[in-house]
Amino acid sequence: MKPAEEIKRIVKNMSFRAGPETNKHLWADLARARELRENAQPVPDRENTRRWSMRHPISRLAVAALIGVGGITAAVVGVNVGQYYFEEKQADGTYQFHSEQAWVSGTVRDANGVEQPLITKRATSVTVGPDSPDGTLNVEQTRKSLEEIDRLRQQDRRYLRGVIETETSGCLYRILLYDYTLSNGRTLCMSENDPDQKDETHLTTAQVHELNQLTRTGRGQDTGTQEKQVKGRLFLFQRQRFVLSDGTEVIRSKGTPKDSQ
Amino acid sequence: MFEDELLKLRFKAGRLDALQRIYEKYRDYLLTLAMALVNDGATAEDVVHDVFVSFAQSGATFRVHGSLRAYLATCVVNRVRDQMRARKRRGRTLDEEAPLESDFDPPETRILSDEQSRLVARALARLPDEQREVIALHLNGQLKLREIAKLQNIPLTTVRGRYRHGIERLRSILNGRL
């Protein structure tokens, strides 16, 4: 048997090189990716994202906007990203992160007619599922990822890969699923409420859990497909009807971009 | 090292020549690391493609305080882990029982290597994921064991153990083959 040192030398000398064809394709994609960035394309080109398939169980982004008047006078230019803080690990095993941002969004006149800066505050709460089999999460890495995702969101450098709609009692509630490609090469998926959709879900937390369980176990009744434009793109929705234990009827539709099918 | 610091600054400033130099300097290094980790030309190519494309797009947001090489190696490992998870979801893993000597290697034009390198990559594929990753990162990625421990968020003693056991297993797999 060869001594260990000899094995190490052999492994160390292992060498693979890109052939001319690979080299040509790699560099072409690379130059194209850089060009896209330079031209500040709002949405990454599909061809460059198709192979980024890693999914991170980040879910449920809730954004609340608060407006107030105060004494901050600094102008905020460009991308405005606040720090994320880890809040707590919840009973269901998920991790809660929180961020608050404040910026001057304009001016208003007070009771004396004096112009005062209008301050907008935004509080963001994000729930993230564990990323390892033992149910834990790298909190510091996730915190950084969330900050990077915020930057990408504000630059609209993301890919809308899915839409989930829930209809109940005539109200439509929509969640958008975005892929974000981070600088470390990972593609994370984040769901968030559609800001253009005014309706809120009328389901209670217990009803949402029941609906999720019914969806997972495939107990919905297929009611066909439907094409719909979302954010300027055509999506094909698979519609399913569910009846909850309290008799509430819910239509849940999952939409995927038609151009990816 | 000094060249890398300059490259990082130039790349951040949006210089195409810096991106090109980084690409030329680290392309084969990353490809070898990816091959050591996945033993599959198409997957390794995908991984390196994704890492570089993502890197090229990071531009002004790019921030690395340490070594550029270690950063890129980390990106490759992250991508490989993603690919492995995807494979496992699809019910595929590295072909642990594939013969070491294979007559069916296609004539490679996309990725070039010698027979010994292919044999070693196939032998590495027979190791458990955690041992293969440590060996590839240390011997092919040239990362220190301490850096690997930090990267994997595990104790240094665990890394040393995985490395030692992995090398022992490789010795036994490659016995009489080289």
Between B11 and A163, the higher pLDDT residue: A163
Give the model's confidence band at B166: pLDDT under 50 very low, under 70 low, under 90 confident, else very high.
Answer: very high
* Token digits of residue A242: 């569910």
pLDDT of the residue at A16: 84
pLDDT at B164 over 90: yes
Q: At A254, phi and psi to the nearest 5?
A: -115, 120
End-to-end CA distance of chain B: 35
Pairing of strands A221-230, A159-168: unpaired
Residue written as token pair 């990753």? B133
Cβ neighbours of A12 in B, within 8 Å: 139-140
In whole numbers, what is the pLDDT of chain B averaged over residues? 79
Give the model's confidence band at B54: pLDDT under 50 very low, under 70 low, under 90 confident, else very high.
Answer: confident
Are A181 and B57 within 8 A, CB to CB?
yes
Q: Output the tens digit of pLDDT for each of chain A's 261 residues.
A: 567 888 888 888 888 888 777 777 777 777 777 666 555 433 333 332 222 222 333 333 333 233 333 332 222 334 455 678 887 777 777 787 877 766 666 777 766 777 776 666 666 777 777 777 677 788 888 888 888 888 888 888 888 888 988 888 778 888 888 888 888 878 888 877 787 776 566 677 778 778 888 887 778 888 889 898 888 889 999 999 988 888 888 899 989 998 765
pLDDT of the residue at A200: 61
What is the 3-class SS of chain B, one letter each residue?
CHHHHHHHHHHHCCCHHHHHHHHHHHHHHHHHHHHHHHCCHHHHHHHHHHHHHHHHHHHHHCCCCCCHHHHHHHHHHHHHHHHHHHHHHCCCCCCCCCCCCCCCCCCCCCEEECHHHHHHHHHHCCCCHHHHHHHHHHHHCCCCHHHHHHHHCCCHHHHHHHHHHHHHHHHHHHCCCC
Q: What is the C-alpha to C-alpha distance for residues B60 and B51, in angstroms, rounded to an integer?
A: 16
**A interface test, pick of B53, B87, B115, B160 with most A CB neighbours within 10 Å:** B53
Cβ neighbours of A11 in B, within 8 Å: 36, 120, 124, 135, 139-140, 170
CA distance A94 to chain B (A): 20
Q: At A109, phi and psi to the nearest 5?
A: -95, 135
pLDDT of the residue at B98: 46
ipTM of the complex: 0.78
